[in-house]
Structure 1
Amino acid sequence: LAVSPRTGGFDFGSINAGLGYESRIERRIIEVEEMVIGIEKMMKSRVEVVENLIASEVSRLRNDLDGKIDDGRVRVLKKNSELDGRVGSIERLMRSSEWLSKEAFDRFVADLMGRKGVSNVREFRFDEIRDFVWEIVENEIGKHAADGGVGRVDYAVASGGGKVVKHSEGFRGGGGWFKGSVRDDAVKMLQPSFGQPGECFALKGDSGFVEVRLRSAIVPEAVTLEHVSKSVAFNRSTAPKDCKVWGWSRNDENTQKEHLLTEFTYDLEKSSSQTFNMSFDTEGVNPIIIDTIRLQFMSNHGNPTHTCIYRVRVHGHQPDVS
C-alpha cells in the first residue's frame, strides 16, 4: 500500500488507479481471447469449406479417372479380342500349312551351294536365292503337270494309249473275266481321279487282278498305285494291300514269258499315291522289255465284298532300238 508523504497515511487514489489499470488489462485479455476464438472459428469454417472443395474435386477427378479407366478397359478388351482373332487365324493357317522340315531346308541349302560352288550361304545375294527358288518351283510344277504329281512318265495312262484288256469279276456284276469282256468303267484305273472318293474301279472280293496294255513296249522301272487320301475318305478298307506285278511282251516267240517285276504292300499310313521300284532279275545284260502288265492283289485292307483301284501307273523307258 502507498503511504502519503504528507499525512503519513494510505494513498487511496493511487490504489484506485492501480485497480483500474488491472481492470483494463483483464478486459483487453478477454477481448484478445474472444478475438482468438473468433479467428479460430473463422479458420475452422474456412478449413471445412476448403476440405469440402478438395473432397468434391477429388471425387470429380476420381469419377473422371474411373470413366477413363473403364473406357480404356473396354478398348483393351476389344484389342485383346481382335488379337485373339488374329492369333486364331494364324494358328489355323499354321495347322493347315505344310512347313518345310529342317532336313528339306538343309537339302535346299546344300543344292544351292553346290549349284553356285560356294562354301558359305552368306555369300549369296538375295536375287540369287530368289532365282533358285523360282527354278525349283517351275520344275516341280512341270513335274506335277506331266503326271499328276508323280513326276515320271506313265505308259499306262488312257489318254496316251494305255488300255485295260482284262480284269477279274467286277463288283456288282457287269462284265469281267468270265464273260471275256472288260467293263466300260475299268478305264478309271488309267485316268486321273483327282482325289475324289468313289472315282475308282471296284472289283469283287478281297483279291483279284487287272491286266493293262501299255502304250508302247518299255523297259519297266516302277509302278505307282493310287488310292483315295485318308483326309477325304470315309472308309479305306477297300484299298489293295499285298500285291504282285507281272509283265510280258506279246512279241515273245512261241510262248508268252511272264516276268515277276515286283511285290509290295500298299501302306495306308503313307501317301495316297505310292511308287514301287521294280525288283526283277534282268537276266544278264539284256533288259526285260514288256508291253503288258498284270497287277494282282492277294488281299485288301479288310473289306470282304470288294476292292477299289483308283489308278495304276507304269513307269520306265523305251528300249534302245540299236
Structure 2
Amino acid sequence: AAIVLCRHATSARMETSCTTEISPAVRDEVIRIVDSRLEEYHADRTGKPDYALGSLGAAIASIFSTRPYTKRPAEYVPWEVLHWEHFNTPDVIIKPGIMPGECWAFEGRGYVAIQLSMPIYVSGFSLEHTPKELTPFGHIKSAPRKFSVWGLSSLEGNDEEFLGRFEFEDNGKSLQTFDAIVSEKAFHLVELMVETNHGNVEYTCLYRFRVHGRPAS
C-alpha cells in the first residue's frame, strides 16, 4: 500500500506543480524513474543487488568449526526453537525470510564462508534480524552484535583481506547496512565471523546476511 501511495503522490505533485515548467515527456520520464526506484527498493528493502543470495547462485562454502545449536532445554524452550520443525541449516542465511525461527542458530562464535554468485568488488553488507515487534518477549537478545567480514579468493589460500568490523544495533532497524573497507581486489568468497550477540547466553540466531558491490567483469 505504501508504495502505491508514493506513486500517486509523485504523480499528483508532478501534475500540479510541474506542468508549467517541464514538458509532459520529461514529467513522464521522471515518474517512470521514481516508480522504478520504488519497485527496486520494495523488492528487497535495500535497493542494492545481493550477491550472497542463494537463488542467484551463491552458496555456503564452509562453516569451519562453528557448533550448530541443537539443544532443547528441559525447563524451557527458546521462542525461536518453538518455530523450528527441523534445525535450520546455514543456507537459511542466504535466503529471504525473517519470520521468527527462520534463522541459523549456533553456539558461541559463528564462522561462515559464502561463495558469492560471481566475483565482485565488495562495497558493503546488510544484516537482517526478525523485528522485535514479531517476538513474544519484545527483545532480540539472540541477534548478532559485533561481527567482522573478510574477502577471500579461496578457502585454501592465505590471501584473505579484512573488509571491516561492525555492530548490529538492537535498538536500530531490523535491516541494517554497513560500508566495507574499500579494496582493489574482487572477491568470490566472503567470510563472516559473528563475535557476540545481544545477551543470549545459549545461542546466536543469524537470519540473513547480504553482500553488496559491483561485478568484476
Same fold per TM (> 0.5)? yes
CA distance in 1, matches of 2:168, 2:21: 43
* 1:99-121, Cα deviation, whole Å (9 max, x unpaired): 99xxxx9xx8xxx99xxxxxx86
Amino acid at match of 1:153: P
SS at match of 2:96: coil
CA distance in 2, matches of 1:199, 1:191: 9
Map of 2:81 onto structure 1? none
CA distance in 1, matches of 2:194, 2:124: 16
CA deviation after TM superposition for structure 1 residue 122, in Å:
8.9
- For the 8 Å contact 2:144–2:204, the answer to whether it is kept is yes
SS at match of 2:134: coil
Instruction: Spell out the pairing of 1:258-273 with structure 2 (5 A cutoff).
Output: 258-273=160-175
Larger RCO (alpha carbons 8 Å, 6+ apart): 2
- Bigger strand share: 2
CA deviation after TM superposition for structure 1 residue 137, in Å:
3.1
Map of 2:113 onto structure 1? 211
Structure 1 residue ranges, 4+ long, deviating more than 3 angstroms after superposition: 120-125, 127-135
What's the TM-score, normalizing by structure 1? 0.51
Map of 2:49 onto structure 1? 153
Q: Which of 186, 196, 199 is the equivalent residue of 2:99?
A: 196
- For the 8 Å contact 1:219–1:290, the answer to whether it is kept is yes
CA distance in 2, matches of 1:129, 1:231: 42
- For the 8 Å contact 2:88–2:102, the answer to whether it is kept is no
- For the 8 Å contact 2:146–2:166, the answer to whether it is kept is yes
Q: 1:186 to 1:130 in 2, by over 3 A?
A: same
CA distance in 2, matches of 1:228, 1:128: 43
Task: Give the aligned CA root-mean-square deviation in angstroms.
Answer: 3.1
CA distance in 2, matches of 1:227, 1:304: 18
* 1:96-152, Cα deviation, whole Å (9 max, x unpaired): xxx99xxxx9xx8xxx99xxxxxx869558x8998545642342113432xx22111
- Is 1:247 aligned to 2:151, yes or no? yes
Map of 1:163 onto structure 2? 59
Map of 2:192 onto structure 1? 295
CA distance in 2, matches of 1:201, 1:248: 22
- For the 8 Å contact 2:37–2:47, the answer to whether it is kept is no
> How many aligned residue pairs are there?
187
CA distance in 2, matches of 1:149, 1:226: 11
Map of 1:76 onto structure 2? none
SS at match of 1:231: helix
Instruction: Spell out the pairing of 1:102-181 with structure 2 (5 A cutoff).
Output: 123=20, 131=28, 132-133=30-31, 135-145=33-43, 148-167=44-63, 168-172=66-70
Gap regions ≥5 residues in structure 1: 1-98, 114-119, 174-182
Gap regions ≥5 residues in structure 2: 72-86
Indicate the structure (1 or 2) with the bigger Cα radius of gyration: 1
- Bigger helix share: 1
SS at match of 1:279: coil
Kindly, what percent of the aligned residue pairs are identical? 28
